[in-house]
């Protein structure tokens, strides 16, 4: 018995030493990647492994023009997703990431606004959903808005509900249904930021599963 107690004491002492030196850490099924302290580069690496990466020619330095490193390296992935999903803050306003979009739902003011949404929804699929002849009409005062496009030879027109300058959230069902037809392996995803803005993306269904397993709370766009 004394020998057993001595062995247990030695093992515990070794584990404590390893933990202090940073070479060992306990983990559990609830210790997701999203809950860990990570550098900006580590967070970007996790997202890149799920198909969400900086587009060329952008680098970490471009993200640091918007927020400080300390802000990005705070808890969770919210700010990194915002930085990745936004455009550069100067002309020509290129997207930091092809298939991720920091989207403000209060964005409909004039002609061209729905056209830009259609173009971005198609762009994020990276070829899985090809849309052509994109047009729109927006007159908030008149209370009328619509957009149209062609997909696989079919002409599609969608009438939009007008409520001040808020986007009609029901329009996204059109793109969800079309993508499910043209490429069932891909899916539009949504990340709630808790305000009027959100993150919309497009990834493979396999990558969505990995994101969720890592505790990054994307869900299918609906």
pLDDT tens over the chain, length 222 residues: 445 444 344 433 444 333 333 333 333 344 578 889 999 999 999 999 999 999 999 999 999 999 999 999 999 999 999 999 999 999 999 999 999 999 999 999 999 999 999 999 999 999 999 999 999 999 999 999 999 999 999 999 999 999 999 999 999 999 999 999 999 999 999 999 999 999 999 999 999 999 999 999 999 999
Within a domain: residue 20?
A: no
- What pLDDT is stored for residue 33 in this prediction? 84
Residue 81 maps to a domain? yes
- Would 25 be classed as within a structural domain? no
In a domain, 2, yes or no: no
**Is 144 inside any structural domain?**
yes
| pLDDT score of 31 | 56
By the 8 A CB rule, do 187 and 205 touch?
Answer: yes
Q: What is the pLDDT of residue 12?
A: 39
Task: Say if 171 falls within a structural domain.
Answer: yes
135, 148 Cβ separation under 8 angstroms: yes
Please answer whether residues 125 and 183 qualify as being in contact, where contact means their C-beta atoms are separated by less than 8 angstroms: yes
Domain membership flag for residue 130: yes
Residue 196 domain flag? yes
**Number of domains comprising the chain:** 1
What's residue 131's pLDDT?
Answer: 98
Distance of CA 74 to CAs 128, 143, 169, 195, 208, Å? 35, 43, 31, 19, 23
Residue-range definition of the domain harbouring residue 205: 34-220
Counting beta carbons within 10 angstroms of the beta carbon of residue 138, is it exposed (0 to 12), middle (13 to 18) or buried (19 or more)? buried
């Amino acid at each position: 018995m004394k020998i057993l107690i001595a062995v247990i004491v030695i093992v515990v002492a070794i584990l404590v030493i390893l933990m202090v030196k940073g070479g060992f850490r306990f983990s559990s099924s609830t210790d997701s990647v999203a809950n860990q302290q990570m550098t900006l580069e580590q967070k970007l690496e996790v997202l890149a492994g799920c198909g969400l990466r900086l587009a060329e020619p952008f680098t970490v330095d471009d993200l640091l023009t918007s927020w400080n490193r300390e802000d990005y390296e705070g808890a969770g992935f919210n700010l990194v997703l915002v930085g990745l999903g936004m455009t550069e803050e100067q002309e020509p306003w290129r997207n930091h990431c092809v298939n991720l979009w920091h989207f403000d739902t209060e964005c409909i003011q004039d002609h061209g606004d729905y056209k830009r949404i259609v173009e971005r929804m198609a762009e994020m699929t990276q070829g899985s959903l090809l849309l052509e002849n994109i047009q729109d009409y927006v007159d908030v005062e008149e209370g009328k808005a619509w957009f149209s496009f062609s997909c696989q030879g079919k002409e599609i027109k969608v009438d939009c509900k007008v409520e001040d300058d808020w986007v009609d959230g029901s329009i996204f069902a059109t793109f969800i249904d079309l993508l499910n037809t043209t490429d069932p392996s891909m899916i539009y995803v949504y990340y709630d930021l808790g305000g009027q803005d959100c993150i919309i993306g497009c990834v493979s269904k396999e990558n969505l599963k990995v994101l969720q397993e890592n505790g990054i709370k994307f869900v299918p766009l609906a």
